[in-house]
Amino acid sequence: MSAWTAWLLGTPALARQPVAARRGKRAARAEALPVRISGDEWGRDPGIPTRLLGFDQALVWAVAALLAWGLVMVYSATVAMPDNPRFAHGSTYFVMRHATWLALSLLAALVVFQVPMSWWERAAPWLFVASLGLLIVVLIPHVGSVINGARRWLTLGPINFQPSEVVKLTMVLYAAHYMVGKMEVKERFFRAVLPMALFVAIVGMLLLGQPDMGAFMVIAVIAMGILFLGGVNASMFSLIAAILVAAFAAMIAASDWRRERIFAYLDPWSEEHALGKGYQLSHALIAFGQGQIYGKGLGGSIEKLHWLPEAHTDFLLAVIGEEFGLAGVVLVIALFFWITRRIMVIGRQAIALDRVFSGLVAQGIALWLGFQAFINIGVNLGALPTKGLTLPFMSYGGSAIMVNMVAIAIVLRVDVENRRLMCGGRA
């Protein structure tokens, strides 16, 4: 593994070390601290270094910056919605719903932050099975809601809830739980890799029935990434990757509308695609071009005025590019890169402290958020084919925002327990 890969992934090779070696590192780290105190005294002794107290405030502020910026951009992208006959709402309808979801998500994150990681480890299989049940329920006619030709939502009173967002989180938890239980046989394909591949295939069939290939891609990357970080043999990992690539290629080849999306991505300006499958991409690129270096200023986007479809969800970055220019897009990319890297480091610290489940959960969440942001940014910039994936923390969407916030709360819980252990206390 190169030094760059180790730096970015938070040294996943730690998970491959024997348990005794990891325990030795934990003891050495704890003994190196200037003060060792009991769990009951944690946080009250002035001799403890400040960096070991509380939680990762820089991570919280980075996420808060994305949430606040996203709220402003959702309002900017939807301010002209009342002029569209498809939406019989006022100019503040979407931003008020988004703000309400943010408040509910913050409350949910505060509750989840109180839950110890030991509980998540015990509950992981049951949560995963429950989320699969939701994927089945959403496919039942007259139960799952159909929006834009896709059956992906459950209607709960005034809100629409997307079960695939929950499955992303439960897959992280279950894959980490699964890998911890398979540490002794992680070099054996049929005992360690094949069962997880079957679980991913089941999830994939349920998601493709909606259809939601974008969510399936994210979930497959989560499962495959946690297997690799947990220590699965590199040759087996390469085999899984090849099978997944072949499966996605086969799904695209077997679907006329998916093939059309690929052709539109390759040439969005052609007469055939400019007003069809390439319409969103071509107008997103126009938005970026109009933004130039520093943008047209907040509220100055032209493309959001009924030219760019889904400007407040999948293509919010295009509105950011038009209003804040290249500088704004680079800042968004930098924030996501830093957040992904920081969560990876928290996971590495947990693994070094012999908390493999917590470490794999944190690093799995980093893979999920980082990969989904990468796909969304690539789609907006025309570097990847169009996929229905939102930009984490920023795009309009209630269930996605809530699950993202819960995931960050779990990462912060991992960080807090790491700090307690490094102070000589109990997690």
Q: Is residue 45 very low, low, confident or very high in pLDDT (cuts 50, 70, 90)? A: very low
Q: What are phi and psi of 296, to 5 degrees?
A: -95, 5
Q: For 360-379, what is the mean pLDDT? A: 94
Cα–Cα nearest to 230, from 275, 187, 267: 187
Whole-angstrom Cα distance, residue 228 to residue 18? 16
Q: pLDDT confidence of 149, banded at 50, 70, 90?
A: low
CA-to-CA distance for 280 and 385, rounded, in angstroms? 11
CA distance 281 to 273: 10
Location of structure tokens 């398979």: 182
The contacts found for 82-88 with CB under 8 angstroms, 24 or more apart, are 83/305, 83/306, 84/306
Q: What is the band of 81 on the pLDDT scale with cuts at 50, 70, 90?
A: confident
Measure CA of the first residue to CA of the last residue in the chain; give whole Å.
Answer: 31
pLDDT at 302 over 60: yes
Q: Do the beta carbons of residue 45 and residue 35 sit within 8 Å?
A: yes
pTM (2 d.p.): 0.84
Residue 121 is predicted with a pLDDT of: 93
Residues with Cβ within 8 Å of 47's Cβ and at least 6 positions away in sequence, in order, are 34, 35
Percent of the chain with pLDDT over 70: 78
Alpha carbons within 13 A on the beta-carbon side of 144: 25
Phi, psi for 17 (deg, rounded to 5): -75, 150
Query: Can you give the residue ranges of every domain in the chain?
Result: 3-422
Instruction: Give strand pairing partners of 154.
Output: 144, 161
Do 134 and 91 contact (CB within 8 A), yes or no?
no
The better pLDDT of the pair 393, 425 is held by: 393
Q: Is the pLDDT at 54 greater than 50, yes or no?
A: yes
pLDDT, tens only, 12-28: 444 444 444 444 554 44
What's residue 34's pLDDT? Answer: 37
CB 405 within 8 A of CB 109: yes
Q: What is the dihedral of CA 89, 91, 93, 94, to 10 degrees?
A: 110
Least confident of 38-42, 122-126, 210-214: 38-42
Say if residue 305's pLDDT is above 90.
no
Where is pLDDT greater, at 46 or 280?
280
∠211-215-217 over CA atoms, to 5°?
105
pLDDT digits (tens, 9 = 90+) for 64-80: 999 999 999 999 988 87
The total of other beta-carbon atoms located within 10 Å of residue 267's CB is 12
Backbone angles phi, psi at 386, to 5 degrees: -60, 130
Q: Which is more confident, 408 or 209?
A: 408
Please name which of 405, 247, 397 lies closest in space to residue 310, comparing C-alpha atoms: 397
d(CA 221, CA 179): 15
The arithmetic mean of pLDDT across residues 267-296, rounded, is: 80
Mean pLDDT taken over the chain: 80
Sheet holding 144-147, edge to edge: 144-147, 150-156, 159-161
For every residue of 208-274, DSSP letters joined together read HTTT-HHHHHHHHHHHHHHHHHTT--HHHHHHHHHHHHHHHHHHHHT-HHHHHHHHHHH-TTSTTTT
